[in-house]
Structure 1
Amino acid sequence: MLRSFQVSNHGSLAQAQQLRLSRGAGGPVSVPVTAVHGVAAAGKTSLIDALAQMRDAVLHSVSGWDPYAGPVRRPHLGFADRPSEFVAGFIAEGVPYTYGFRLDNADVIAEWLHTHPRSRKRIVFERTGDQIKIGPMFEAARYGVAALVPLVRPNALLLSLAGQLYAEALVPAYRWFAANLQVQQGAVDTAALALDLGSHISRSPDNAARLLMLLRTADLGIEDLLVAEPDPMYADYLRDLDTEIAALATRLDHGGADPILLERELSTLRAARDALYRRMVDRRGVGLGLVHEGIDVAFELADESTATRSLLRVLPAMLEALDTGQVLAVDDLGAGLPVEETDRLVQLFQNPETNARGAQLIYTTANRTLIDRGNGRSQRRRCAVWQLRREQGVSELTPL
């Protein structure tokens, strides 16, 4: 669950802007849908990109950033010398956390992780420059955090290093970014889209049936989805992983002995399954085809319209979020689609029957009609609505 997100000096978001996703003033219950409206160039993409940047920094600052360069960031061009800051408030494994970091052009100048049990702040760690303080409630030697401190590069995050080396005290926060936050933005890449669709469909017949039902409802003329059978070299391994994932999910649904450990094992198995499927696709391709009404020859993704590819891209991510209780952030949701169809996608998150695991959808749109429909007005308890305005090159986020 994501409760709040704050960013400053990223893209057009020059000053500190906070997106709150919980009801009331800092309430513990987050709404399932958060809509952000703004006209073209208002800063919507900068907001979603800031979430993506924070996630990427946590997961890849150690292994993906150049160790001899400054941190990867995208400051406002008018304030390139000022630091950028990212702060997220979220709940991981039942515990409220606040995590944030501040970057300049050379180093990570600050980083902190706090927990908030029973609304009382406890410091896990606080970093200022090259000084790292471990909170008194977390025995650094026992959890291995102290051993990592000398290994942290000035331009990398401690949480990134601790997550990859499995320092127990920091694992829940790291895993939240790795397994509970998805971000979709930018142009649709056909190869990546085929990989996501093929992987989602191949996991179970139920996935394929549900996806096909939603596509038929969208009235795009798509009658069926065809995916090649798994490569025999990988088929048995994929089948075994799918069986194990289904068994663990059933145990979790029926109240397993230790739900936190079950959740961790489930996310690990799902990641292993995705990596194995990707390796198979690299070897022989996805073999994906779309059957249209009245046409005998199956379409390839490249033959589909931009709007159809946009819907095909977001549907697997939405269904995955609903199945696992993830946070999904989408830039320009429903671009090119009728408002009614985009509204149906939003309602999947608003409806407690289709969103039984507490998934959250954050989306941006330039279409005020979508905001003014029932998902944004008559059901305020199920949706928070924000607006982005841009004046003199600087974007400001306000509740609507």
Structure 2
Amino acid sequence: MLRSFRVGNHRSFADENELLLMSAADDRSVVPVAAVYGANASGKSNLLDGLRFMQRAVTQSFSQWEPFAGVPRSPFSFRTNHVVAVPSTYVVEIVADGIPWTYGFTVDNERVLEEWLFSYPEKRKRVLFQRTGDEYSSGSAMAENRAQLKVIQGLTRPNTLFLSAVAQAMPEMFQPVHRWFRESLILADRRRSATSVVAGRIREMLLRSSANEGVRLLELVQAADFGIASIEAPELLPDSGARALPPLVFDHYGSEGVVLPLEQESAGTIAWLELLPEVLDALDRGRVLVIDEIDTSLHPLLTASLIELFQSEDTNSRGAQLILTTHDSSLLGTVVRPDGLLNRDQVWFVEKDADGTSTLYPLTDYKPRNEHNLERRYLGGSFGAIPKVDFLRLVEAVRHADQA
């Protein structure tokens, strides 16, 4: 469960910004869905990339980062001092194993400057460790483990996170947070998923015998109205001599036995099939699923249906969360759902200033008189975070091209 994420000096986020997922109605609970809106190139993807960098630093810095290669961060590049002198900051507040945790670190191009991990069992702060450069400290609860911690601290390189190192040696104390980054945080990378990768995930689900994965997958595809009657995953025959698995085949209603490979399915069908394995995994295990541009190739009603799977207690009994970026303004209105789909505390905006700096802010900063007009007010510019399109300039550009 993610309660908040704070990032600073990462790509277009020159200053610190915080994505808060706590409910405005009940400060003890988190929202199941957070939608981030903004113009193209406003910084929505950079916000998610900051979370991705933090995940990789926790899970890979000790084992994979080169000892003398510094920290592979991406600072704000439009201010000279930010590239070298200003640290990058990454902080999360999470709930893991039923306990709230706060974990964060600051880095520059060369090393980890600060790092800290606190837990709050029974609402009391417990300091597991604090780090400033090469100096470490820990609270009284860690007194019995200080000798072991000191050994691991000596093995932690300047450009490596201590959590990345210590979780491998002392799993009982540090594993909940490390496991959250490793297993509970799912960052979907749709731009890099080839059709073959999508086919592999679908094949795996179809061939699973537990929990009727294949049956559930097919029902979700049929419910999306793509006209697909069945999906088959032929297995490789022992005497076929082929090296690659046969492709998936899709049987459509009314096709009279004609089947299609995945490559010939619509972009919307492929997008739906690409998302389903990760959506179901998050719902089944109570994970945090992060999707950039969720509405790519999907009809607004399908996007709304995916969001509802996380909003409904019937389908999300394990507390999964969905964080998404989108341009689909219909999700703000009442057309796709008469009672509305997203609450005001679930909507965020990203806007980029003239100097290229992105700023993140919530819809709750505004007090709209009519909740049903959110979509119209957003497109009308009341909340910012929309492109400033100069149509006359577009016309002139086209005319100039014709005259050339």
Match of 2:352 in 1: 390
Q: Contact 2:24–2:345 at 8 Å: present in 1 too?
A: no
Matching residue within 118, 121, 138 for 1:117:
121
**Offset from partner CA, 1:149-202 (integer Å, 9 cap, x none):** 111111111111122334321111101111111011341322332232223333
Asked if residue 102 in structure 1 is aligned to residue 106 in structure 2, the reply is yes
User: AA paired with 2:213?
Assistant: N
What CA distance in whole angstroms lies between the structure 2 residues aligned with 1:104 and 1:118? 35
What CA distance in whole angstroms lies between the structure 2 residues aligned with 1:53 and 1:152? 19
- Could you state the TM-score of these two structures normalised by the residue count of structure 2? 0.80
- Could you state the TM-score of these two structures normalised by the residue count of structure 1? 0.81
Unmatched tracts of structure 1, length 5 or more = 233-282
What CA distance in whole angstroms lies between the structure 2 residues aligned with 1:223 and 1:391? 49
User: AA paired with 1:59?
Assistant: T
User: AA paired with 1:386?
Assistant: W
Deviates more, 1:95-104 or 1:139-148: 139-148
Secondary structure at the counterpart of residue 63 of structure 2:
coil
What CA distance in whole angstroms lies between the structure 1 residues aligned with 2:244 and 2:236? 10
Q: Contact 1:3–1:28 at 8 Å: present in 2 too?
A: no
Which stretches of structure 1, 4 residues or more, deviate above 6 A after TM superposition? 374-377
Q: Contact 2:332–2:341 at 8 Å: present in 1 too?
A: no
Secondary structure at the counterpart of residue 126 of structure 1:
strand
Match of 1:291 in 2: 251
Q: Contact 1:138–1:169 at 8 Å: present in 2 too?
A: no
User: AA paired with 2:252?
Assistant: H
What CA distance in whole angstroms lies between the structure 2 residues aligned with 1:382 and 1:144? 47
What CA distance in whole angstroms lies between the structure 2 residues aligned with 1:57 and 1:375? 40
Q: Contact 2:3–2:94 at 8 Å: present in 1 too?
A: yes
Greater RCO (CA < 8 Å, at least 6 residues apart):
1
Pairwise CA distance, 1:307: 2.7
**Offset from partner CA, 1:308-338 (integer Å, 9 cap, x none):** 2222111110011000100101000121211
Match of 1:364 in 2: 325
Secondary structure at the counterpart of residue 260 of structure 2:
coil
1:303-318 mapped onto 2 (5 Å cutoff): 303-318=264-279
Match of 1:259 in 2: none
Unmatched tracts of structure 2, length 5 or more = 364-404
Pairwise CA distance, 1:26: 8.9
Asked if residue 80 in structure 1 is aligned to residue 43 in structure 2, the reply is no
What CA distance in whole angstroms lies between the structure 2 residues aligned with 1:37 and 1:135? 41
Match of 1:33 in 2: 33
1:68-217 mapped onto 2 (5 Å cutoff): 68-78=68-78, 79-81=82-84, 82-139=86-143, 141=145, 144-187=148-191, 188-203=193-208, 204=210, 206-217=212-223
Q: Contact 1:141–1:147 at 8 Å: present in 2 too?
A: no
Match of 1:399 in 2: 362
Match of 1:265 in 2: none
Q: Which has the larger radius of gyration?
A: 2
What CA distance in whole angstroms lies between the structure 2 residues aligned with 1:195 and 1:128? 45
Secondary structure at the counterpart of residue 64 of structure 2:
coil
Pairwise CA distance, 1:231: 9.2
User: AA paired with 2:221?
Assistant: L
Match of 1:352 in 2: 313
What CA distance in whole angstroms lies between the structure 2 residues aligned with 1:40 and 1:284? 39
What CA distance in whole angstroms lies between the structure 2 residues aligned with 1:375 and 1:35? 16
User: AA paired with 1:288?
Assistant: L
| RMSD over aligned Cα atoms | 2.5
1:232-243 mapped onto 2 (5 Å cutoff): none
Match of 1:14 in 2: 14
Q: 1:314 to 1:69 in 2, by over 3 A?
A: same
What CA distance in whole angstroms lies between the structure 2 residues aligned with 1:350 and 1:382? 14
Pairwise CA distance, 1:143: 9.1
What CA distance in whole angstroms lies between the structure 2 residues aligned with 1:288 and 1:214? 17
What CA distance in whole angstroms lies between the structure 1 residues aligned with 2:300 and 2:341? 17
**Offset from partner CA, 1:81-108 (integer Å, 9 cap, x none):** 2221110000110110000111111111
Match of 1:23 in 2: 23
User: AA paired with 2:351?
Assistant: R
Pairwise CA distance, 1:229: 4.4
What CA distance in whole angstroms lies between the structure 2 residues aligned with 1:328 and 1:34? 11
What CA distance in whole angstroms lies between the structure 2 residues aligned with 1:377 and 1:394? 35
Q: Contact 1:49–1:185 at 8 Å: present in 2 too?
A: no
Match of 2:293 in 1: 332
Secondary structure at the counterpart of residue 352 of structure 2:
strand
Q: Contact 2:117–2:129 at 8 Å: present in 1 too?
A: yes
Pairwise CA distance, 1:298: 3.9
Pairwise CA distance, 1:342: 0.7
Secondary structure at the counterpart of residue 201 of structure 2:
helix
Q: 1:120 to 1:317 in 2, by over 3 A?
A: same
